[in-house]
Amino acid sequence: MQEQTLSDNVKNNKEGIRPLTGGRFRFSCYRGISCFNKCCADLQLILTPYDILRAKNRLGLSSDAFLNKYTVPVAGGESVFPMIRLRMRDDERRCCPFVSSDGCTIYDDRPGACRLYPIGRGASSGPPGGAGEQEVYFVVNEAHCLGFKHEREWTVEEWLKDQRADLFNAINRQWIEIVTSPSPRKGELTEDKLQMFSMTSYNLDRFRDFVLKTKFSRVFDLSEKDSAGIRKDETMLLELGMRWLKFALYGEKTLRLNPLHLPPR
């Protein structure tokens, strides 16, 4: 099995990571614990499409405004695709821009990696024709975190449900499949296709304009659900975008061409 890293979120962690023993771990975090907010600084936090969707809407920002203010491109990452990370504050601790003394100011819409903590998530994919993308979980072991000293015990499934991280995982799954795909076409991606990936993944406003102002909606036979989602539901728009990327980058049959626009035989 070939493991492919999607983020640098735990790379700078000096204490490293450890496997889940027996599939369970002990942890509790709350306002008042002496290490509160210490984990919200000096991060290399990769943002996923759904992370951006939730955060920009919580802040009432357009895609462009959010990207310009709160993100920076990842330099020298392992992925062939352009990745972006959260821009930290320019202070001594390089704190998260959304953290305050009372905790996260966008807590209900915080990124998926924050929801998972202290669990880390990786994606593994086998060779073509194999089992496909699989999720791998581990414990992020940081010395400053006192949450591990508490007796509250969790399974991964219990933790994902409690933090609503399972929702983020489900919506981002198609994007992860694109990024970790073993398709031989990945080696043939042009600069135009990488820009298409970036627009569709991170800038839903521009992707919506692309769908509405080009031949997209005429070339493809979109369902009523797709058509409604383009204008009214950004989660559905994002899902359409992921199907479009699979079609455009890898030739997967995730969208159906409109018979009226097929070339004559």
Provide the pLDDT for residue 75. 84
Strands in the chain per DSSP E = 2-4, 17-19, 24-26, 71-73, 84-86, 99-100, 103-104, 119-125, 134-140, 153-155
pLDDT at 16 exceeding the cut of 70: no
User: For 224-260, what is each residue's pLDDT tens digit?
Assistant: 888 888 988 999 999 999 999 999 999 999 999 988 7
Provide the pLDDT for residue 160. 92
How large is the angle between the packed helices 49-59 and 165-179, nearest 10 degrees? Answer: 130
Nearest alpha carbon to residue 252 among 260, 263, 240, 244: 244
Collect all residues with Cβ–Cβ distance below 8 Å to 44 and sequence separation of at least 6. 7, 8, 9, 11, 12, 74, 85
Provide the pLDDT for residue 231. 87
pLDDT band at 22 (very low <50, low <70, confident <90, very high): confident
Strands in 114-260 per DSSP E = 119-125, 134-140, 153-155
CA–CA separation, 146 vs 194, rounded Å?
42
Q: Are 142 and 134 in contact (CB under 8 A)?
A: no
Structural domain boundaries in the chain: 2-179, 184-261
pLDDT at 6 exceeding the cut of 50: no
CA–CA separation, 31 vs 178, rounded Å?
38
pLDDT at 264 exceeding the cut of 80: no
Provide the pLDDT for residue 95. 95
How large is the angle between the packed helices 234-250 and 191-202, nearest 10 degrees? Answer: 160
Given the structure tokens 């600069």, which residue do they identify? 191
Length of the chain, in residues: 265
